[in-house]
Amino acid sequence: MPYTDAAAAKKLLDARPNADAIVTALKNLAIETPSWGYADTGTRFGKFHQPACARTMKEKLEDAGVVHKYAGICPTVATHVLWDFPNGPDATVIDYAKKCGIEIGAINPNVFQDQCYKFGSFGNPNETSRKQAVQHCLDCVELGKTMQSKYLSLWFADGTNYPGQDSIRARKHRFTEALKKVYAAMPTSMTMLIEYKPFEPAFYHTDIADWGMAYIFAKQAGPNAKVLVDTGHHYLSQNIEQIVAWLLDEDMLGGFHFNDRRYADDDLTLGSIDPYQIFRIFNEIISFEQERGKPATIAYMVDQSHCIKPKIEAMLQTVDITHQLFAKALLVDRKALRDAQARTDVVGAEETLRGAFLTDTRPLIGYVRQQMGLAPDALAEYRTSGHEARIAKEREAQHGSPSDAAYA
């Protein structure tokens, strides 16, 4: 079994002078999982219900706690307001999260679901709709204070579908004004993360379509505003690691929403389509950190919709491959890479990266987990635990089966 191959792990570490630093970095990696990733989700065509999915906030926290229990690197859970806090702040959530072994992470406002947002939220030409969106985000800041959250994570569905529908520049000005109002209400301990997306649901233009637009809005808002990169929010073939490198160099990279995609914003399990891309992203981050001599402050978060996979298993898959790819990037021989780059040895430089990427890091992850008092193969351990069948039975007894009208 790869995860229990202690000899392979020892061989990997013995070959590197910074072995202790690699192990420490792997132990300290923190991946935030999303509350909505544990609930029933679907596509625009419908939902496919799962008996074991979480129906309540407590069940979402329980499931996030289970992932952290097996993976060991998921200490926080992101929450989505309206979905998780329909009745406003609830301080008991903090206590229950701690009981589950986790804490509340990023607060995600919802300014795209209500009917008043048909023509946008912060960019809406209707002042009443804009005020409602701003007030909701201000309420989310207060919620974040109650939940002791460090991040206010903003994604907007705003845009237009037809040329001439609205003034693009006027919408930009409205966004700037609204973001400043929300930023001014934040405590100094909170960071505003501004996400971008090139299209969907608006298809003529979106108000925050790329990293440059998010960068400008963040700079205008204030020093505690940064850019959030969703790996699914790019055009096909876009060089995401270049975006990451530039944002790092400008001290404007605030966080990630990790997922994978085949076409657009598919929200697939990370690494299921293009693991090399995530490795290349981690390579840029680790290169930056090692040159600077200290870790970058980056919120690593998962944003995925597991429509047909079991929720907890899919999350464990994502966290596990993230850990593996992060380990691969840590194994890059930085000196050999710099030397090859200095000689303009294109093949040598690429082979240095490829060699690290092709290294099987499962033994190393298993070794690190054992040092943390965990089973080396998190997914296998979970699958043999019987937990999935147990919670499916318990939750069906409490809420009804997927075929029951009350459940739907």
pLDDT tens digits for range 251-279? 999 999 999 999 999 999 999 999 999 99
Spatial contact of 112 and 118, defined as CB atoms under 8 Å apart? no
Q: What is the pLDDT of residue 405?
A: 41
Q: What angle do CA 51, 55, 59 make, to 5 degrees?
A: 100
Say if 177 falls within a structural domain: yes
Say if 337 falls within a structural domain: no
Say if 42 falls within a structural domain: yes
Q: What is the pLDDT of residue 312?
A: 98
pLDDT value at 208 more than 80: yes
> What three-state secondary structure class fits 391?
helix
pTM: 0.96
pLDDT value at 82 more than 80: yes
Across residues 370-395, what is the average pLDDT? 98
**Model confidence pLDDT, tens digit, residues 118-133:** 999 999 999 999 999 9
Across residues 220-237, what is the average pLDDT? 97
Burial (CB count within 10 angstroms: exposed 0-12, middle 13-18, buried 19+), residue 338: middle
Say if 384 falls within a structural domain: no
Spatial contact of 255 and 151, defined as CB atoms under 8 Å apart? yes
Alpha helices by DSSP H, 72-109: 92-99
Spatial contact of 209 and 194, defined as CB atoms under 8 Å apart? no
* Phi and psi at residue 300, to the nearest 5°: -90, 115
Across residues 325-331, what is the average pLDDT? 98
**Is there a cis peptide before residue 201, judged by omega within 30 degrees of 0?**
yes
Say if 371 falls within a structural domain: no
List C-alpha distances in Å: 235 to 54, 155, 159, 268, 369: 32, 17, 17, 16, 36
**Model confidence pLDDT, tens digit, residues 17-26:** 999 999 999 9
pLDDT value at 342 more than 80: yes
pLDDT band at residue 407, thresholds of 50, 70 and 90?
A: very low
pLDDT value at 404 more than 70: no
**Closest CA relative to residue 290, chosen from 337, 233, 257, 247:** 337
- HSE value, Cβ hemisphere, 13 Å, CA-based, for 381: 19
Spatial contact of 163 and 130, defined as CB atoms under 8 Å apart? no
**What range defines the domain where residue 175 resides?**
29-332
> What three-state secondary structure class fits 83?
coil
The region that residue 16 occupies, defined by phi over 0 for left and psi between -120 and 50 for alpha, beta otherwise, is beta
Across residues 201-223, what is the average pLDDT? 98
Q: What is the pLDDT of residue 403?
A: 56
Tokens of 338: 């710099």
Say if 24 falls within a structural domain: no
| Residue labelled with tokens 């409490």 | 398
How many structural domains compose the chain?
Answer: 1
Cα first-last separation, the chain: 42
Count of positions (residues) in the chain: 408
Alpha helices by DSSP H, 102-210: 127-147, 168-185
Q: Could you tell me which residues come within 8 angstroms of residue 18 by beta carbon, excluding any fewer than 6 positions away?
A: none
The amino acid at residue 126 is N
Spatial contact of 311 and 275, defined as CB atoms under 8 Å apart? no
Say if 347 falls within a structural domain: no
- String of b and e for 288-309 (b: at least 16 CB within 10 Å)? beeeeeeeeebbbbbbbbbbeb
Q: What is the pLDDT of residue 219?
A: 98
Q: What is the pLDDT of residue 406?
A: 42
pLDDT band at residue 408, thresholds of 50, 70 and 90?
A: very low
Spatial contact of 304 and 37, defined as CB atoms under 8 Å apart? yes
> What three-state secondary structure class fits 95?
helix
Across residues 47-61, what is the average pLDDT? 94
CATH number at residue 51: 3.20.20.150
pLDDT > 70: percent of the chain:
98
How large is the C-alpha radius of gyration of the chain?
22
Say if 386 falls within a structural domain: no
pLDDT band at residue 41, thresholds of 50, 70 and 90?
A: confident
**Closest CA relative to residue 318, chosen from 335, 331, 305:** 305
Spatial contact of 226 and 232, defined as CB atoms under 8 Å apart? no
The mean pLDDT value of the chain amounts to 95
Strand partners, 255: 228, 299
Q: Please state, in angstroms and rounded to a whole number, the distance separating the CA atoms of residues 164 and 377.
A: 55
